[in-house]
A and B are shown apart, each in its own frame.
Chain A
Amino acid sequence: MTLERDRYRVVIVGAGIVGLYTAYHLARAGAGPIAVVDRGFLSSGGSGRNGGGIRQQWETRSTIRLARESIAAYRRFGSEFGYNIWFRQGGYLFLAETPAELDRLRAVHDVVVAEGLPSRLLSEGEVGAHVEGIAPGAVVGGAYLGSDGTLYPFPAVWGVYEAARSLGVEVALGVEARGVSSENGRVSRLVTSDGSIATDTIVNAAGGWSADLSRRAGLDVPNVASRHEILATEPLKPFLDPMVVRRSDGLYFSQTMRGEIVGGVTVPHPPGTARGVPSSPRFLTSMARALVTLVPRLASVGVLRAWAGFYDDTPDGFPIVGEDPRLPGFVHANGFGGHGFMLAPAASRRVAQSVLGEATDLDPREFGPGRFAAGPAGRAVEGLQLG
């Protein structure tokens, strides 16, 4: 075992952005000895495989608030953690290719504006001003929020990792969580590929693998791991400021600080983590078709590499945050649906509050682990999951 102790106050499964941020918040609160275990190397999961988009345009006010708080955290990241994440607020541009889609964007826009954010509805011409080379007639309009943006995910992971470690958090990499033992109805041990660790609190921040862990703890959860693919092109000189997204096919793309166009599009894959994360010819051609149709000038630009990762989807589009009522000591920090990086700084604060037994401001009918027992009737849905 690469960990120094055999008992920890809290063991967090998953050294992604959510798990590490949670460890950081807990360590700052003086929660006691904290360990983080991860099956892979640092940033080998979703936190190292995402497109780096951070947006506040959501359908529900609760998600908007978490995103807004996260953006504030990423703005101060450099001074707080000592790493440049190059958080560039170039905006998020939702495309509408039909009047009906524009109406849906208008509904989102109204919620976003009600939260005090200056979202704008754009005409076709205004969309064109944001996306150089967009095909004429490709859109009827869009919605835009300039304070959304993109960041470079890796240094965010390094920064939080180093900060957590300097506060005494131990991180064991290459250690897989295999099971959860309980005593008297409460979590007692985490069983790993490298021995078992005594603890009375386990945080499940395992991203795409979180459902596997919850089930090993005997908990029936609705999370589904879905494979999503992404590609990067050759680096070009900067020409595109916003992240461009389209709900109809899940297309999203932006230009990174390094000049690459990075993005994806939804291609159906069988659920679950068993098949790993290969890239498919189907994705490459689908994404190429979507990009070239929208921005024909990209036709001669080369695809440099493609990769894939897991989303951790929930039926209602909200993450699962908080202690599981069926197993005291088992705290969920998962179900982020491919949007964990967007919400991590704010959501992980609530996870830490849950671990410490403090009240959070999250509505349990939206975020609570117990919400699924009651069925979907009457509960809110966050439908703006993309990619």
Chain B
Amino acid sequence: MASRPLRRFRFGRALRASEEGRTILEALVGERLPALVRSVRYHRPRAAFCGVGFCTGCLVRVNGRPNVRACRQAVREGDRVATENSWPSPRFDVLGALDALFPRGIDTLHGFRRPAFATRTYQRVVRRLAGYGRLPDHGAPAAGIRPPTVLRARVVIVGGGRAGAAAAARVAALGEPALLLDRGPGPGPIPGVEVLPSTTATVLSAAGPGGGDQFTLLGYSAEDAGVLVRAPAVIVATGSYDASLLFEGNDRPGVMTADLALGLARGARSLPFRRAVVVGSGPRALEVLSALGPRACAVSAPGGIPPELVRRASELGVSLFPRSMVVRARGRSRVRSVELRRRGSGPTDLVPCDAIVLAHRRLPHHPLLFQAGATMVWRPLSRGYYPALDPSGRTSVPALFAAGSVAGVAPAEAAASGVAAAEAALGRPRSGPPSTPVDPGNSGEYDGYFEELLTQPRRGKWVACACEDVLLDELEAASGRGYRGLEVVKRYTGLGTGLCQGRYCVPDALSVLSVLEHRAPPEVGYLTQRPPVVPTPLGSLARLHDEVGGEVVP
């Protein structure tokens, strides 16, 4: 392997070096996944969890800028990387004592009211527990926030995976200008397509200022330059991501999604664990098992384990725990073992491990579709919302299309769904067979799962929303007081209001509330997906001010 040039940076007081092109997280990962930050309420140690820039596990301060996701930011020469919301360090944090002092949490809604004279003192203390990073050290100098990019295209494609790349290529092949935005490195050059890598689309409005240009899309680039795209047609191919799972200690360092584990297996020199328990039984679990090889020690799945996964596991000498639920990750500063309970009140197995990799469920990354007003439908098997589509990938919003896994299309058909959407977006006849969105869920393995999970004994905190440290107990308390529906419980508890915008907590919270309220998940409701899709720097939006213009009054 050809060695790449080294980039030197500071982590706290230590001088570090890393190969060019690696992320800060990859540069910091060694034998273990380091705790990089403490959580907001209980100062629980947190390490990278999602690996795709949504969660709060790897927030660091870089060159005086707070709340930078170490998993998304490449190391640059001379970077000063610091930890936040911990003293003296994320590993040994004085306020971490709160977590042990209040094993079942602090009731900030009803507590702290007496004696009244102490209110101001309480407020000062509680206020200190809020927030992650401190105010940025400096503003953007004139050169810091670059001029915005303002573009028009016949079709804009959001997401450069298989579906998005195929859609863009098809638009170009049909002789129309295509623009593709990708949050990551993108698909590489495609003839006839303008590709903007490292560009995150965060706001999609179907009300543009001009007649023909129906959509206004806002976003930002890696250097905080604002991006404004106007286009008469949009294809959303934003893909999917690995879900979280509710159990005691699911926020401990070492619990991670398959997105993170596979990303580290590709990008980092070594994996930061030795014995990983893989959760799941589908193709994703197989992919993880193959990538981890001898570092996997067990597979746990809520239902049966299919033969190909059994075969691969036996090749690797991995133990199998079919029909099991993860009930508890043991260990405080990192995972040391996991308790797996056999479904139907069976025995509990204690499996020593230093990582738990969640590969049980993929979720569509759909906020942009919700935001633009597309009709979304509940798919009971995968227990998630997908856009209502015709066979060409047309949503309920005119000229808005979805393709690939965000549309519920199987990976093998992703490219074909992109081609179909491109042709439909241009009003051309379809060249291939209709794409067939499927319900990618596994049949019924989560039936009764959450009913059973809620009856498990709780010794410590069951964190339902890691960004805001909202506990399962709080969801139950809200429900017990008669507050029903996800929108109301969100406002009552704060669940889903943190930096990940509910991506990781909402899916399981929906299942929990469905059990508590004795009604099906669609009746529990969903959260309004508000813009922006991911936190968007004020500076990049500010620079777009003169370009955006007013809305068309319908």
- Listed in ascending order, the chain A residues whose CB lies under 8 Å from chain B are 41-44, 48, 76, 78-79, 82-84, 86, 88, 132-133, 135, 154-155, 158, 162, 233-239, 256-259, 268-270, 275, 278-282, 284-289, 291-293, 295-307
Task: Judge whether A234 and B542 touch: CB under 8 Å.
Answer: no
Instruction: Decide: A41 and B537 in contact? CB cutoff 8 A.
Output: no
Residues of A contacting B123 in the complex (Cβ-Cβ under 8 angstroms):
86, 88, 257
B130 contacts A302, C-beta separation under 8 Å: no
Task: Tell me if B191 is interfacial: C-beta within 8 Å of chain A.
Answer: no
Contacts of A259 in B (CB 8 A): 40, 127, 130-132
Q: A297-B137, A300-B66, A302-B536 are in contact. List 19 more A-B contacts (CB 8 A).
A: A79-B114, A133-B139, A135-B139, A234-B67, A235-B499, A259-B127, A270-B553, A279-B203, A282-B549, A289-B541, A289-B545, A298-B135, A299-B537, A299-B538, A300-B136, A300-B539, A304-B501, A305-B501, A305-B530
Could you tell me how many residues of chain B have their Cβ less than 8 Å away from some Cβ of chain A?
73
Q: Which residues of B contact A285 (CB under 8 A)?
A: 218, 541-542, 544-545, 547-548
One of A84, A237, A269 near B85 (C-beta < 8 A): A237
A281 touches B218 (CB 8 A): yes
Among A41, A158, A258, A293, contact of B130 (Cβ-Cβ < 8 Å): A258
Report chain B residues within 8 Å CB of A41.
485, 487-488
Contact with A along B110-130 (1 / 0, CB 8 A): 111110100100010011101
Check B131 against A300 for contact (C-beta < 8 Å). no
Cα-based distance from A305 to B502 in the complex (angstroms): 12
Kindly identify which residue among A238, A286, A297 contacts B545, using a CB–CB cutoff of 8 Å: A286
**A289 contacts which chain B residues (CB < 8 A)?**
541-542, 545
**Pair A292/B542 contact, Cβ less than 8 Å:** yes
Q: How far is the CA of A378 from the CA of B35 in the complex (A)?
A: 67
Give the residues from 45 to 94 in chain B that come closer than 8 angstroms, CB to CB, to chain A.
Answer: 65-67, 84-85
Q: Does B224 contact A (CB under 8 A)?
A: yes
A-B pair count, CB < 8 Å, reads 214
Contact between B133 and A236, CB atoms less than 8 A apart? yes
The answer to whether B113 touches A306 (Cβ under 8 A) is no
Does chain A have a CB within 8 A of B532?
A: yes
B132 x A236 contact (CB < 8 A): yes
- The one of B134, B488, B548 that contacts A43, using a Cβ cutoff of 8 Å: B488
Partner of A302, one of B67, B127, B548, B553: B67
Which A residue sits closest to B202, measured CB to CB? A303
Whether, in the assembled complex, B108 has its beta carbon less than 8 Å from a beta carbon of chain A, the answer is yes
Rounded to whole angstroms, the CA-CA distance of A291 and B538 in the bound complex is 8
B531 touches A305 (CB 8 A): yes
What 7 A-B pairs have minimum CB-CB distances, sorted nearest first? A302-B535, A296-B139, A259-B131, A299-B539, A288-B541, A78-B113, A299-B140
**Residue on B nearest A286 in the bound complex, by CB:** B545
| Chain B residues closer than 8 Å to A88, beta-carbon distance | 123, 127
> Shortest distance in angstroms between A147's beta carbon and chain B's nearest beta carbon?
12
User: Is B135 a contact of A299 with CB atoms below 8 Å?
Assistant: no
Query: Is A303 within 8 A of B538, CB to CB?
Result: yes
Q: How far is the CA of A62 from the CA of B531 in the complex (A)?
A: 39
Q: Does B492 contact A (CB under 8 A)?
A: yes
B542 lies within 8 A of A288 (CB): yes
Question: B113 contacts A284, CB within 8 Å?
Answer: no
**Which residues from B are CB-within-8-Å of A282?**
548-551
Q: Is B205 an interface residue (CB 8 A)?
A: yes
CB distance from A164 to the nearest CB of B (A): 13
- 1/0 per residue, CB under 8 A from A, across B340-384: the answer is 000000000000000000000000000000000000000000000
- Given A88-B123, A275-B554, does the pair A133, B535 have CB atoms closer than 8 Å? no
With A259-B130, A300-B136, A301-B66: A162-B491 Cβ-Cβ less than 8 Å:
no
Chain A residues with Cβ below 8 Å from B324 are none
Chain A residues within 8 Å of B130, by CB: 235, 237-238, 256-259
Q: With a CB–CB cut-off of 8 A, which chain B residues contact A233?
A: 535, 538
Kindly identify which residue among B135, B144, B539, B540 contacts A237, using a CB–CB cutoff of 8 Å: B135
Inside 8 A of B65's CB, which chain A residues have their CB? 300
Would A301 and B136 be within 8 Å (CB), given that A41-B488, A78-B119 are in contact? yes
* B145 part of interface (Cβ distance < 8 Å): yes
Output the nearest chain A residue to B128 by Cβ-Cβ distance.
Answer: A238
Q: How far is the CA of A123 from the CA of B67 in the complex (A)?
A: 33
Choose one: B108, B207, B494, B528; the contact of A84 (CB below 8 Å). B108
Q: What residues of A have a CB within 8 angstroms of the CB of B137 in the complex?
A: 297
| Residue with the greatest number of chain B CB neighbours at <10 A, chosen from A135, A162, A289, A293 | A289
- By beta carbon, the residue of chain B nearest A86 is B123
Provide the residues of chain B in CB contact with A303, threshold 8 Å: 532, 535-538, 541
Interface membership of chain B positions 169-183, coded 1 if the CB is closer than 8 angstroms to chain A and 0 otherwise:
000000000000000
Q: What are 6 A-B pairs at a CB distance below 8 A?
A: A258-B130, A281-B216, A284-B532, A299-B140, A304-B501, A305-B531
- The answer on a CB contact under 8 Å between A280 and B207 is yes
In the docked arrangement, what's the CA distance between A302 and B145, Å? 13
- Minimum CB–CB distance for A173 against chain B, Å: 9
Closest to A302 in B: B535
**Contact in complex: A154, B542 (CB < 8 Å):** no
CB < 8 Å: which of A133, A293, A300 contacts B537? A300
Residue of A nearest to B116 (CB): A79
Using Cβ atoms and an 8 Å threshold, which residues of chain A touch B216? 281
Asked if B446 lies at the interface with its beta carbon under 8 angstroms from chain A, I say no
Note all chain A residues with C-beta closer than 8 A to B499: 234-235, 304
Q: How far is the CB of A262 from chain B (nearest CB, A)?
A: 12
Cβ of B481 under 8 Å from chain A: yes
Complexed CA–CA distance, A235 and B128 (Å): 12
Return the contact of A257 from the options B119, B127, B136, B139 (Cβ within 8 A).
Answer: B127
| A287 proximity list for chain B (CB < 8 A) | 541
B191 to chain A, nearest CB (A): 31
Chain B residues with CB under 8 A of A278: 205, 207
Is B13's beta carbon under 8 Å from chain A?
Answer: no
The A-contacting residues of B in range 445-487, CB under 8 angstroms, are 468, 481, 483, 485, 487
For the complex, give the distance between the alpha carbons of A48 and B240 in Å: 31
For the complex, give the distance between the alpha carbons of A228 and B274 in Å: 53
Residues of B within 8 A of A298 (CB): 135-136, 139, 538-539
Q: Which of B113, B131, B133, B536 contacts A258 (CB 8 A)?
A: B131
Interface presence of B4 (CB below 8 A):
no
Task: Write out the residue numbers on chain B whose beta carbons fall within 8 Å of the beta carbon of A132.
Answer: 135
Q: Judge whether B1 is part of the interface by a CB distance below 8 angstroms.
A: no
A275 to B206, CA, bound (A): 13
- Does B109 belong to the interface (CB within 8 Å)? yes
Given contacts A298-B136, A303-B532, contact A86 B542 (CB under 8 A): no
- Which of chain A's residues have a CB closer than 8 A to the CB of B114? 78-79
Check if A162 sits within 8 Å of B481, measured CB to CB: yes
Bound complex: CA of A42 vs CA of B342, how far in Å? Answer: 40
- Give the docked Cα–Cα distance between A293 and B537 (Å): 14
The distance in angstroms between the C-alpha atoms of A41 and B535, with both chains bound, is 27
- Determine how close the nearest CB of chain A comes to the CB of B535; give it in whole angstroms: 3
Contacts of B134 in A (CB 8 A): 236-237, 239
Cβ distance A303 to chain B, nearest Cβ, rounded Å: 5
B137 to chain A, nearest CB (A): 7
Question: For the complex, what is the distance from the CA of A279 to the CA of B530, rounded to whole Å?
Answer: 8
Rounded to whole angstroms, the CA-CA distance of A83 and B481 in the bound complex is 13
User: With A300-B224, A300-B537, A306-B530 in contact, do A257 and B542 touch (Cβ < 8 Å)?
Assistant: no
Query: Which of B67, B85, B109, B539 interacts with A288 by CB under 8 Å?
Result: B539
Q: Is B518 among interface residues, defined by CB-CB distance under 8 A?
A: no
Residue of A nearest to B40 (CB): A235
Q: Which residue of A lies closest to B535 (CB)?
A: A302
B201 to chain A, nearest CB (A): 12
Shortest CB-to-CB span from B27 to chain A, Å, is: 21
List chain B residues, Cβ under 8 A from A301: 66-67, 136, 537-538
